[in-house]
Amino acid sequence: MKELLLIAVGSALVNNVVLSQFLGICPFLGVSKNVKTAAGMGGAVVFVITIASFVTGLIYKFILGNKNIMGGKLEYLNTIVFILVIAALVQFVEMFLKKAMPPLYNALGVYLPLITTNCAVLGVALTNVQDGYGVLTGVINGFATAVGFLIAIVLMAGIREKIEYNDISESFQGTPIVLVTAGLMAIAFFGFSGLI
């Protein structure tokens, strides 16, 4: 139990997927203009990464990581199979949001299908395999990583909403101030490294 808690805290805060590993930057910068939209994107990413961690963990444990009929393992197919699983899950999320929450679906726009190519989702699935996590540990790692993404994107959206009302020099308006803010957030999250 203690080990699972350390993995969860480490994945969410210490090794934050966006601010420490620099994965998932595209939706982090693109969807963080509004807190509601950022929370919706974060929720979709939490769902996709958690389910993807579970499904890819099972596929690796029972198919790719086991010896096949010819005596070899199929680990070289990890990336391709994981991308297919993630793409299917994103399609499911997209259909659900389109039917159940049309305003959120429209607000996320092009960034929702981009979850398929979000390197954070694939990165978690591959990290679970590389670190030798079982299915349960992989799901906890995936969930905690996604919660870390959610925390980072919502904090960034809140800061960006406040920045709109500040007097910023013309050369820093737009993308430059967003990148400076992201860098300062990364430095702030570096402070969590003493937790584990």
pLDDT attached to residue 113: 80
pLDDT (tens, 9 = 90+) of the chain, 196 residues, equals 889 999 999 999 999 999 998 898 888 988 899 999 899 889 888 988 999 999 999 999 988 887 765 667 788 889 999 999 999 988 888 898 889 989 888 877 777 787 877 888 999 999 999 999 999 999 999 999 999 999 999 999 999 999 988 888 888 888 899 999 999 999 999 988 877 7
Residue 73, helix vs strand vs coil: strand
CA atoms of 54 and 49, how far apart (whole Å): 9
Supply angle C-alpha 42, 21, 162, rounded to 5: 50
pTM of the model: 0.88
What is residue 159's predicted lDDT score, i.e. its pLDDT?
95
Per-residue pLDDT at 27: 85
Three-class SS of residue 67?
strand
Question: Residue 89: is it exposed, middle or buried by C-beta count within 10 angstroms (0-12/13-18/19+)?
Answer: buried
